[in-house]
Amino acid sequence: MSQGNTEVCSACGVKILRIPTGDRVLFSVGPPGTRATLWARVCQFTQKPGCINKDRDAVGEMKPNDYYQAEL
């Protein structure tokens, strides 16, 4: 599902804004992130049909802070 420059994932409900400086992922909780953050925290585990973040080229390179960090 998409509307203008915003895509909504039917698998998890996250919104991805397509902007000239790079896609921004709007999570339901917490600050915006990247497609790499979305992949590291959600997409690689869910494997649900309809995921809009399956293109590894669009995901980009993972960074250590893309993964979920449990607060101690």
> What are 30-49's pLDDT values in tens digits?
899 999 999 998 998 888 88
pTM, 2 dp: 0.80
More confident residue, 23 or 70: 23
* DSSP for 8-68, written as a single string: E-TTT--EEE--TT--EEE-SSSS-B-HHHHIIIIIHHH--TT-S---HHHH----GGGS-
Nearest to 51 by CA among 19, 26, 14: 14
Chain segment 48-66, per-residue pLDDT in tens: 889 999 887 888 888 988 8
